[in-house]
Structure 1
Amino acid sequence: MTSPVDTIQRFYDALERGDVPGVLATLNEKIEWTEAERFPYYTGTWLGPQAVFDNLLAQVANDWDGFAATPSDYIVDGNRVVALGTYTGTYRKTGRDISVPYAHVWTVSGDTLLKFVQYTDTAKVLEALR
């Protein structure tokens, strides 16, 4: 059986490769995805992989060069995992770079991701957009 951290790492690995089908394959069909309020792509909680693709993945691919969400540590409590890491990338319209820490709170169901909540310094991300 795959561990929760292994499942989450598959997501980050696919994201790093730009493997959208691989990213979507890690998401449970009932995933609840919530970006931090005031994050550029926040519009509430999205339900399902297609909503995550439409509202986040496609937008990030369009807006950023070299965007990465790189985990550096995991805190595990059963099927709930906090991934600590750093966002990096260059916002295309301004040419500004970011290096912003994040905490991603995941709930894992079997070998898929059921819930995601993002915590990050949205002000630092928004600075790159201006």
Structure 2
Amino acid sequence: MSTNLSVVKGMYEAFQRGDIPAILEVIAEDVEWRLVGPASMPFPRECRDRNEVAGFFRALAESDDIALFEAREYIDAGDNIVILGFVKGTIRSTGKAVESEWIHVMTLKNGVLTRFVEFFDTASRGGH
């Protein structure tokens, strides 16, 4: 297993534990963090530094109650790692159940995340 893949798997394990500081430790100070979706999303769609990414995780926790979050497949392409997964949860403000498959594309340099792009079914959120 490559070092970058080990780092990525460690990030997902940390997310499962709710250990956001462990995730932030492997994110570059100057990062491109992007969710593909409409401006109406209840959490930031673009982050440029570690502090903004921390704000993304805070907003996500406030917005959604995640019941299931699974990374199902990892595709190791050296500095680029593609992860296919699934999420199921509830939007806290509406009580609406949501679920979606997702794709994360990450770029790492020397074991540090420099780019993260997420694709998921934003329409499943009902207007978001």
TM-score, normalised relative to structure 2: 0.86
Q: Determine which structure has the larger helix proportion and give its number.
A: 1
Alignment correspondent of 1:24: 24
CA contact (8 A) 1:31 1:113 kept: yes
Q: Percent identity?
A: 27
Where does 1:70-89 land on structure 2 (aligned, <5 Å)? 70-89=70-89
CA contact (8 A) 2:42 2:63 kept: no
Write the distance in 2 (CA, Å) between the matches of 1:44 and 1:96: 21
CA contact (8 A) 1:2 1:111 kept: no
Deviation sequence 1:29-55 (CA, Å, 0-9, x none) = 12110111227146553211111111x
State the shift of 1:68 in Å: 4.9
Quickly say closer, same or farther: Cα 1:103–1:123, change in 2 above 3 A: same
Write the distance in 2 (CA, Å) between the matches of 1:28 and 1:43: 18
Where do 5+ consecutive residues of structure 2 fail to align? none
CA contact (8 A) 1:88 1:97 kept: yes
Deviation sequence 1:46-92 (CA, Å, 0-9, x none) = 211111111x1011111222355421001121110110001222111
Alignment correspondent of 1:127: 126
2:109 equivalent to 1:106: no
2:50 equivalent to 1:52: no
Instruction: Say which is worse superposed, 34-43 or 3-12, in terms of deviation.
Output: 34-43
Alignment correspondent of 1:8: 8
Quickly say closer, same or farther: Cα 1:43–1:84, change in 2 above 3 A: same
Quickly say closer, same or farther: Cα 1:7–1:79, change in 2 above 3 A: same
Write the distance in 1 (CA, Å) between the matches of 2:64 and 2:121: 17
Write the distance in 2 (CA, Å) between the matches of 1:42 and 1:62: 9
Instruction: Say which is worse superposed, 35-44 or 72-81, in terms of deviation.
Output: 35-44
Where do 5+ consecutive residues of structure 1 fail to align? none
TM-score, normalised relative to structure 1: 0.85
